Chains A and B, each alone.
Chain A
């Protein structure tokens, strides 16, 4: 189980450790105080984290108001704070990344569980998961210096030849924009989705697979009709976790999305530049002066926090439930 999946699903490695904990109370007072203090410290810091961002966002709400949620004129420098394009940018990059990453990840996970010989399974899935540990800025650099030129010189002329600048390939961009960002973002979330899907698929009881085969099903039929439906909820959870990671991605996207066009705040095609909540935080952080701009940045942070937090909680529930259901 990957560290991420293990941590997220909270799977205890052995049962029964709980029993030892209940006994003996009074004799360990200093010990309990010590560990309690650390727990309290970290709890306090984390509460402070939420408090601080919420508190600092108040001046921002005073400036931006409800306009923040439906306004489409985002221009931080000119103090126009309609953040709908940013929220849209966050959602559209993540959606496109999922469209690209989900089939690849599920396919890869199925191949790891059902095609690769058992002995090679650990090695192969470790290699895929290694991708999850590549620092985000390196994905940005790779996208910037390797994928962008490739898109620009190889893919783009071909697209033009085939689609003649028709939607969604209409705007003639620099190669930076929605397509580049979503592609690299997809690559970044493939390991997350693959690792958790793999764990969910491994949990499908062998009896079900054998039951299907004994009815004359081919391996493909068994995977499609039995393994996939059985682990459906877990896979949905895996996808949601991937989405949570994509929603918060900052540096790589900042380097790859190009610039938001104030005249067309919503991308008009796959080559349009755009911005997301998180890229806009980084983009404007250097120019902060006074509490109001910082407040608006905190508003962006808060919205991002809520979106990602809810996504994560939902995913956690789904994954945990499905793993529990499969492993009685």
Chain B
């Protein structure tokens, strides 16, 4: 409350408009910190995307652009289809025979579902980090990070060494594991394991990194590390992150998609805008209700 009165003199401040609609100002203060002036170049475009299982729609009506070198967050209560949508972006639903993805998802103007790009190559360009850290338990730290490159035929040691150092540095893990690269990945702490998984995903140099609630199984300190990491990572990779944590979305993302479960229990996109707009001046009343904590 104190901070609100302090800043109340600033005209048109997001905080002020937030205060007028009753949004927790602590969230808005985070939004403040994010500069978002650079022109947005769409790298992945979703148009009327829907995912259904056995004919039952899980999420639909999703249309938005993922901006290059930006962090796009997907928020919404559970059951709103965030994770389902995210997994459609690198065709992970291909594993489920009953899953059908309709609409169009294009990566650099190539439709990823219409045969323009082979699935396994798509996945080297669109990587993924999961809810729980999933390092390969039989592999060392080094082998974990190298695995993606090896899957794609890169075996040259000099290249691997360089790539592994590079991606471990990018994941802010290099300094703590440099001396024990040959140690089993399972010996790392939970937070370190998740950063290892980020490094592993980065090693294949994806253009887009999908993150499915990457901090949901981590303690607050590790969560903080990962969030700090995201801001520096977007220099080299575009990030799409699913989170159930509104504060997190506000802190880390530039754009924000809000999804909600409709009447028929199918998730749908309610609103897509810059994070600043979603959290300060949403267009849709349901977004506002969610931001204000009226459901979820």
Contact = CB atoms under 8 A, between A and B. Distances in A.
Direct contact between the two chains A and B in their complex (CB within 8 A): yes
Interface of A: 117, 205, 207-218, 221, 225-226, 229-230, 232
Interface string B66-102: 0000000000000000000000001010010100000
A217 B134 contact: no
B42 interface: no
B97 A117 contact: yes
Contacts of B97: 117
A207 B201 CA distance: 14
Given A211-B197, A215-B204, A230-B137, A221 B123 contact: no
Contacts of B139: 229
Contact of A214 (B136, B152, B201): B201
B59 interface: no
A216 B137 contact: no
A211 B145 CA distance: 12
A218 B150 CA distance: 12
A216 B120 contact: yes
B148 A215 contact: yes
B35 to A, nearest CB: 31
B92 A213 contact: yes
A131 B147 CA distance: 39
Interface in B157-216: 197, 200-201, 204
- Main SS class of interface, A: helix
B198 to A, nearest CB: 12
A208 B204 CA distance: 17
A241 B138 CA distance: 23
A126 to B, nearest CB: 21
A230 B151 contact: no
A214 B151 contact: no
A229 B95 CA distance: 21
Given A208-B136, A230-B138, A214 B120 contact: no
Interface of B: 90, 92, 95, 97, 120-121, 123-124, 127-128, 130, 132, 134, 136-139, 147-148, 150-152, 197, 200-201, 204
Given A117-B97, A215-B201, A230 B90 contact: no
17 contacts: A117-B97, A207-B130, A208-B137, A210-B128, A211-B200, A212-B136, A214-B90, A214-B92, A215-B124, A216-B123, A216-B204, A217-B148, A218-B151, A225-B151, A230-B137, A230-B138, A232-B138
Given A215-B148, A216-B152, A221-B151, A210 B200 contact: no
Given A208-B137, A214-B127, A216-B121, 8 more contacts: A205-B134, A210-B130, A213-B123, A214-B90, A215-B147, A216-B151, A216-B152, A232-B138
B28 to A, nearest CB: 34
A97 to B, nearest CB: 28
B134 A211 contact: yes
Contact of B130 (A211, A218, A230, A232): A211
Contacts of A211: 128, 130, 134, 136, 197, 200
Contacts of A213: 92, 95, 120, 123
The 10 closest A-B pairs by CB, nearest first: A215-B148, A216-B124, A214-B128, A217-B151, A229-B138, A207-B134, A211-B134, A216-B123, A216-B120, A221-B151
Of the listed residues A210, A213, A215, A221, the one surrounded by the most CB atoms of chain B closer than 10 A to its CB is A215
Nearest to A209: B95
Contacts of B95: 209-210, 213
Contacts of A212: 136, 147, 151
Contacts of B128: 210-211, 214
Nearest to B121: A216
Nearest to A226: B136
A143 B130 CA distance: 52
A211 B204 CA distance: 13
A230 B204 CA distance: 22
Of the listed residues A208, A216, A229, A230, the one surrounded by the most CB atoms of chain B closer than 10 A to its CB is A216
Nearest to A210: B92
A207 B133 CA distance: 9
B224 to A, nearest CB: 24
A212 B151 CA distance: 9
A277 B276 CA distance: 80
A209 B151 CA distance: 13
Nearest to B197: A211
